[in-house]
Structure 1
Amino acid sequence: ALKEAFGVYKKLRAVHPALDTIDMGGGFAIPYGKKRLYSADAISRRIVQTLKQLADDAGISHPNIIVEWGRYLVAPAQITVFKIVSAKEVSKGLARFWYVVDGSFMNDLLDTWALHQKWHVVPVNKIDAKKKNRVWLAGLSCDSDDKYTAKDGYLTLPRLEDLDHGEDLYVAIFDTGAYQDAFASHHCLLSSPLKIVLQNGIVTIARKRETAEEIGKLFGW
């Protein structure tokens, strides 16, 4: 594909000698499953080396290179954290329990429903628990599509009965910084979550969790 793009660039440059840039566009995949089969550095070096060689062979100056890897850059900038507020036993299925989170996948992580996006999910606490349950995650809305059943058909998370007295279980979902906030809604009148920014060791509250009164005002009530 890169050689084909350079071929087009060379033909255009013959007509417009001032042309000096190749835009590679976007589409650089994110390793949501944390199985890093390649790196941006390695791909970038390969692109530069290939284009330099093609330009040298064609006897023209090396082009400037632009990439539009927005999703790859911003996805790791956000982690979504949910609290497990309830559990329900599953009578039949790969999972043994539904764990209900204090939010909504259809509100907060819409790609879960729209694209069946698979995320890297880990427990925040009790991460070293020896005994775990096979679970599905469900959102708070009344919609049957408000769920996450994971890549392998279930997640393995700590058992709620093993939590200390007064302790809640939290789960972290990685790489949610691309598009999820932009697509977020108030499906079933659920609130937007608390948003905090951690930078250089400083924690700042960027947005408080919405109250019922604030949501009502959004809809003119």
Structure 2
Amino acid sequence: MKNKYIDLIEQTFEFPQDEFSVQDNELNFHDIPLMDIIKQYGTPLKVTYLPKITSQIQRAKRLFNVAMAKVDYQGSYNYCYCTKSSHFSFVLEEALKNDIHLETSSAYDIHIINALYDGGIIDKNIYIVCNGFKRPQYVENIASLVNNGFENTIPILDNKRELNLLDDAINKPCQIGIRIASEEEPKFDFYTSRLGIRYNDIIEFYQTRIKTNKKFKLKMLHFFINTGIKDTAYYWNELNKCLGIYYELKKICPELDSLNIGGGFPIKNSLAFDYDYEYMAEEIVSQIKHFCEQSGIPEPNIFTEFGSFTVGESGATLFSIINQKQQNDRERWYMIDSSFMTTLPDIWGIKQRYILLAINHWDLEYQRVFLGGLTCDSEDFYNGESHSNAIFLPKLVDETQYIGFFHTGAYQESLGGYGGIQHCLIPAPKHIIIDRDKDDNEYYTRLFAKEQSYRSMMRVLGY
């Protein structure tokens, strides 16, 4: 009878997979024995595997460049990393090894740009795409980049008023973009995004406000799909609407040469994940190429803004099971040594599902369980995965059971209030970085941050 945990995984999924394998009944992540990491650092533990960031960027570049070559696309492809997905220095430094560009969303982002420049990591030729609603400090910081020679800084107008604010602060020629207020998917509570300028206003706004201003040149049209790049009628319809506006603008604005197809590729959130990245890249490129040929205009340079795709799959979060509670006839709880609400807030906030796997005891029988966090909030739990409304983990024995949530590298630290005060004063876990030696490809680890101390919390609270 096949009732072991490893039997469950192998019967349910194609396993092993690229980043996951099992040796001696213990899980490896990118060929790294996670039990060795736990023995060295303990749990709870955040892990960032840096080589995955580079491989994701190179994968997307390859996909788009091959797609462009197949149809003889004349524009260029430009990969931008959205800093909001993870602002950590080690993420930016790894990503920038791959000749990419950056997208910002708030005033303090610009200080990161300056720090990267001061450290010799970027030069002033990099594209800085400045998205988001621009309050005075953000405008001032953007202007400082432009005025100091970052000539490829592109503020994206989120509303009409921002043009005047930028005009007052910038004293050099500046490239700008316009963000389209795209329609949202039917499941949303509203029809049109609160971000951007509505379709019907863009042409008139350009003619009356931008065309007559000698300081600004409209370089980029930007549209963003909140749910990401998916093979749906909704996505292709929004892309075609955007191309229609691009065509109308291009007729009266010859310097317009770039299309930003904001909204990212999805990341793997289940061992059953299936997404045809190659098809999507080829279809996007071919649709833009076909539209431009039909309309008699040059193909635009394509910009993408990939945040979660860049950094999400580099992350893992490891926990210990510290207790088992049988609360009624059917509900058995495994209690973890941290909190979902504070450590992986997307689980609580948007019901996000991640890849969840046991790290040890793959040779034991499995059972259905619920996972509970340490806070006193009833919402601090995890009870299903993206492919199933249930969780199965090995039965507990005398030795500690460890589990891992994988591909957790995007957004969780910033949403969880990294370094600040979190629900029930649950401390932020240790965070380690794993990299590989360029010469022998052996992995090595370093501690980025210790577990948050009570002293740091007391200082924040004023004690």
Task: Indicate conservation of the 8 Å contact 1:137/1:148, yes or no.
Answer: yes
Task: Output the amino acid matched with 1:105.
Answer: F
- Alignment partner of 2:389 out of 139, 142, 153: 153
Q: Give the Å deviation of 1:31.
A: 3.3
Distance verdict in 2 for CA 1:218–1:127, change over 3 Å: farther
Distance verdict in 2 for CA 1:38–1:153, change over 3 Å: closer
How many corresponding residue pairs? 214
1: CA distance between counterparts of 2:309 and 2:327?
36
Secondary structure of the 1:135 match is strand
Secondary structure of the 1:68 match is strand
Q: Equivalent residue for 1:49? A: 286
Q: Give the Å deviation of 1:13.
A: 0.4
Q: Give the Å deviation of 1:175.
A: 1.4
**Structure 2, unaligned stretches of length 5 or more?**
1-236, 437-442
Task: Indicate conservation of the 8 Å contact 2:384/2:391, yes or no.
Answer: yes
Question: Which of 207-216 and 173-182 deviates more?
Answer: 207-216
What fraction of aligned residue pairs are identical, expressed as a percent?
32
Q: Give the Å deviation of 1:86.
A: 0.8
Task: Output the amino acid matched with 1:168.
Answer: T
Q: Equivalent residue for 1:171? A: 403
Q: Equivalent residue for 1:212? A: 454
Q: Equivalent residue for 1:37? A: 274
2: CA distance between counterparts of 1:157 and 1:36?
20
Q: Equivalent residue for 1:139? A: 373
CA RMSD, 1 decimal: 1.7
Secondary structure of the 1:51 match is helix
Matched, 1:4 2:241: yes
Secondary structure of the 2:265 match is coil
2: CA distance between counterparts of 1:122 and 1:169?
11
Q: Give the Å deviation of 1:183.
A: 0.9
- Alignment partner of 2:337 out of 89, 92, 102: 102
2: CA distance between counterparts of 1:41 and 1:205?
36
Matched, 1:189 2:431: no
Q: Equivalent residue for 2:355? A: 120
Distance verdict in 2 for CA 1:103–1:62, change over 3 Å: same
Task: Output the amino acid matched with 1:207.
Answer: A
Task: Indicate conservation of the 8 Å contact 2:358/2:402, yes or no.
Answer: yes
1: CA distance between counterparts of 2:456 and 2:261?
43
Q: Equivalent residue for 2:99? A: none
2: CA distance between counterparts of 1:208 and 1:219?
20
2: CA distance between counterparts of 1:68 and 1:90?
46
Secondary structure of the 2:305 match is coil
1: CA distance between counterparts of 2:276 and 2:448?
31
Question: Which of 107-116 and 2-11 deviates more?
Answer: 2-11
2: CA distance between counterparts of 1:208 and 1:41?
40
Task: Encode CA deviations 1:177-218: one digit per residue, 9 max, x unaligned.
Answer: 111110114110111101000111120100111233333233
Of Structure 1 and Structure 2, which has the larger fraction of its residues in helix?
Answer: 2
Q: Give the Å deviation of 1:116.
A: 1.2
Q: Give the Å deviation of 1:27.
A: 4.6
